[in-house]
Amino acid sequence: MSTLPLSIEPHLAHQCEDAEALHIWRQGQVCAQLYPDQDIVFRPVPNGGIVIRTLSVFTGKLNRAVGCGNDGDLARDTLRELGSLFAVIGLAPEIHVSPFARPPTFDSLMAHGYEEKGVLSTYWCRLEDSANETTSTGTSSTGKSSAVAMETRLIAAHETEEFIEASITGFQSNGRSRELLGELARIATRRTDTQLFIALVGNKIAGSAALASIETSDGGVAHLYLDSTLPCYRGRGVQQALIQARLREAQRRGLPLATTITRVGDGSARNAERAGLRIAYASSIFTRPPRTLRGG
């Protein structure tokens, strides 16, 4: 096991990682507001990264540590602390390793019983470079798609619950729990840095997505997330149209970079590439089998 290669300059990779960390931090902030009587945790990880721990029912995106090893090796004490943090709610730690992590971080994870369970790809583009891309694939500057008579727009205030339900329905076929999917969408509706989009076909919601405007120490980043297409509308360019709508909005807001994170090789990755985003780096995901859950 070794560090995965960068496909962009290191300072840009750091900026993308910082945007992801702030994104996770803000999810934690909203979750703490939604559950004030629960012990919601979101804090830095020693030697780089952010950990979020919420409720056991929200496995995955709301219970993980990201960007770990960015500024140094994951020490034994840090791994023990992460193990104990998640053991309290009966979950295995899920650790996303930074592309800047050194080989000793991987060695330490393996020595403590962690196994690699997947890889995530971070995609990016300079928004000035994507201008031609976002107007060349069938979606006009007004948000209309000539191929399938599709409209993309920001949601209206009264459409919040419809947005949440559409997000759940689009994701649920992937096997994730309704509780987690609903919470992710609900958090997005409460974030002051996030704009919510829907795609409409024949005045019916075909897909939904979110755009977070995140200010890092190196400048603004448009983070594209929560892309969801209803099953009956898949293969009709819904996600592509939503990506383009958010890139246009990010350009309008003067943000210089855009990012999105996908599973390696899935449909979202292909749609990101079609919209002009390119892979920046990959991050390995590690967890431990249940038999090793003892907090250390």
* Per-residue pLDDT reduced to its tens digit, 232-285: 999 999 999 999 999 999 999 999 999 999 988 788 899 999 999 999 999 999
Q: What is the pLDDT of residue 82?
A: 95
Count of the separate structural domains present in the chain: 2
- Asked if residue 171 and residue 96 are part of one domain, the reply reads no
Extended strands (E) in 127-265: 144-145, 150-154, 194-201, 204-216, 219-229, 257-263
- Asked if residue 95 and residue 196 are part of one domain, the reply reads no
Query: Looking at residue 251, which CATH number applies to its domain?
Result: 3.40.630.30
Position 104 in a domain: yes
Q: What is the pLDDT of residue 143?
A: 47
Q: What is the pLDDT of residue 139?
A: 41
Q: What is the pLDDT of residue 4?
A: 62
Position 228 in a domain: yes
For 7-19, what is the mean pLDDT? Answer: 94
Q: Is the pLDDT of residue 30 over 50?
A: yes
- Asked if residue 153 and residue 229 are part of one domain, the reply reads yes
- Asked if residue 14 and residue 52 are part of one domain, the reply reads yes
Position 169 in a domain: yes
Q: What is the pLDDT of residue 131?
A: 52
- Asked if residue 130 and residue 92 are part of one domain, the reply reads no
Report the distance separating Cα 101 and Cα 26, nearest Å. Answer: 24
Residue-range definition of the domain harbouring residue 272: 124-280
For 3-16, what is the mean pLDDT? Answer: 86
- Asked if residue 153 and residue 59 are part of one domain, the reply reads no
Q: What is the pLDDT of residue 266?
A: 83
Q: Is the pLDDT of residue 60 over 90?
A: no
Q: What is the pLDDT of residue 264?
A: 81
Q: What is the pLDDT of residue 289?
A: 80
- Asked if residue 276 and residue 131 are part of one domain, the reply reads yes
Q: What is the pLDDT of residue 3?
A: 55
Q: What is the pLDDT of residue 62?
A: 97
Position 159 in a domain: yes
DSSP state of 207: E
- Does residue 161 sit in helix, strand or coil? helix
Q: Is the pLDDT of residue 15 over 70?
A: yes
Report the distance separating Cα 254 and Cα 249, nearest Å. Answer: 9
Extended strands (E) in the chain: 41-44, 50-53, 63-68, 94-97, 115-126, 144-145, 150-154, 194-201, 204-216, 219-229, 257-263, 278-287
Position 168 in a domain: yes
For 186-214, what is the mean pLDDT? Answer: 97
Position 268 in a domain: yes
Q: What is the pLDDT of residue 146?
A: 42
Would you say the C-alpha torsion 132, 278, 25, 46 has a positive or negative sign?
negative
Q: What is the pLDDT of residue 137?
A: 38
- Asked if residue 200 and residue 59 are part of one domain, the reply reads no
| 141 vs 86, more confident | 86
Position 2 in a domain: no
- Asked if residue 102 and residue 83 are part of one domain, the reply reads yes
- Asked if residue 163 and residue 214 are part of one domain, the reply reads yes
pLDDT in tens, 120-175: 999 999 998 655 554 433 343 344 444 568 999 999 999 999 999 999 999 887 67
Q: What is the pLDDT of residue 97?
A: 96
pTM value?
0.90
For 40-57, what is the mean pLDDT? Answer: 96
Q: Among residues of the chain, what percentage have pLDDT more than 70?
A: 89
Would you say the C-alpha torsion 56, 59, 63, 68 has a positive or negative sign?
positive
- Asked if residue 157 and residue 169 are part of one domain, the reply reads yes
- Asked if residue 271 and residue 247 are part of one domain, the reply reads yes
Q: Output the average pLDDT for the chain.
A: 89
Q: Among residues of the chain, what percentage have pLDDT more than 90?
A: 79
Position 212 in a domain: yes
